[in-house]
Structure 1
Amino acid sequence: MDSERLLGDFLRARREAKAVEEVGIRRVGRRRTPGLRREEVAMLAGVSTDYYIRLEQGRERRPSEHVLEALARVLDLDSDATEHLFELARPRVRRRQAAAARHEEASPHLVRLLHSWQATPAFVHGRYMDILAANPMADALYAGLGHRDNLMRMTFLDPAAREFFFDWEQTAYNKAAMLRAAAGTDPDDPFLPKLVEELSAHSDEFRRLWARHDVRSTGQEWKHFHHREVGELQLAYESFSVNSAPGQQLVILQAEPGSLSEHALSLLAGLVARDIARSGASGDPRTAPEPEAALALPGGPAMGGHIGVPSATWRTRW
């Protein structure tokens, strides 16, 4: 990932995704490339073709606010994509940390909060969707899936995810767009290129979606799951920024009151309570067994890795 080409790559991808009919241009003859031509974008945005070409080629990286607003209008960018466009043109200065120093961690207070929700799946993920902490309900919800250290790997690299996520295509699109938004203007972070390279090497669908340069923010949406033990669940997926740890997101999944999904969640809670009783654990992270024993709860064997939660809490990764 070349930081000097991010703005140009984004503009080119969005230009090629825009149909000429959408901007009132009549299609005449055969077009060698999809979407709008460079000169068409330049004309509609009120800039010279040469200037726009320099933007796409990375030779001009500081367009004015007026130009950015015009490009957002021509390319019909939504609020997330427009914000991303401005960020690419006005990158924030980030403090670079040595690769070995990178260590995302959910705070003990947040982990205790997760474990207080005994009937609600909840977890915390980092900037690039590494799982930092999860309560037993979330661990049980995603039980049986592989690559549970990272939501991106889980979605794109585990074949079982296509059955677990009822609408896998939409889930995959959302995850790729969220990662693109989270990546922002920091492509030199050594961990992002490694993750993108791994996903690209093993998933044709990820490569296709990543090349689109679509972006979207986290927030509220509905998720439709097919759980191997309790059946189908439709859950509201709420994501909240952790103010004390920029880049971290607290995710809570809830069912509509009185719905079949609420009943399925109750069944899942019963399975969790049964397994906790069998293991002799209380479910309170302050009195939880050693990490190795805690991982005997729904969720499978210990995963290990560099992302940690303090040893006083559960170190589940999925």
Structure 2
Amino acid sequence: MIRRDILWKGIIEELAEDFLYFFFPGHIHLIDIGRGFEFLDKDLEKIMPEADTRQRHADKLFKAWLKDGQEQWFLVHVEVQGYPDGQFAYRMFQYYYRILDRYNKPVTAVAIYTDTRRAYHADTYRVDFFNTELTYRFQSFVLLDHTPQKLRSSNNPFGFALEVARRALDERKSDDDRLMVSKLDMLRHLLTRGLDKASIRRLYNFITYYTAFQNLENKLKFEDEVQKITKSRKPMGLEEAILQEVKEQGIEQGIERGIEQEKRLVVIRTYEKGLPLTDIAQIAELSVEQVEQIIQTYEAEK
């Protein structure tokens, strides 16, 4: 099962333009969308190397350009698990001052809360000591405060991704039958939006993997229903897409570097996508022990 933090990182990157339209409608006219975006995940790792990777949150840092030629950095933090964290607001402030100090780049930040723990849904960090006061306020979006219907009515692809996550809050205790109805409803709506194939594919994968069926038989039934609705061949899932991507890229470089290098590339790319070691081993046609050794070497070289 693909982890939700991996899904969030992927959908934010793939729908970055729609993300900006959704969260910054009053500023979108200032952004030079045509210049595209530069994603700064490596910079984020340098800024917060001590971040606890066991916690399920998704951080993205990316750069956009304003129409006047200036750079603007966007920090996106998605809380996936909703674990109690009384220091969350402080961590958001840490991101801000470290980016400002290291790169001299001001940042606009968004925290998306995908859980039900309202007590931890902060939007401000404040400290006051002996007549010295600091207030850091960032944009927060509490999924629980928005109905699926409201998110759908935004007519924004990223709003649709938020709808998928919002429905998951209601479906935590649902049975597979209700989940089936919900997923198929979202899929039918997705196909009426007139989106390009790439966006449909991304959002289909988000629908498919964000909330899993308890019974494997229902997962297969869902895929059959999708095939009937689309009246086409079975759509490629996220893991299959990853497999095709790494195989294609691995083969291209493998011609020059040899089969072993190709397999190493396959392992690294699938590892970065968050696949389990057993799946990586099967894809790369290696043992789990060999996969672990490649990953250990890769992490040491980073």
TM-score, normalising length: structure 1 = 0.28
Structure richer in helix, relative to its length = 2
Identify which of structures 1 and 2 has the higher relative contact order when contacts are C-alpha pairs closer than 8 Å and 6+ apart: 1
The structure with the larger Rg is 1
TM-score, normalised relative to structure 2: 0.29
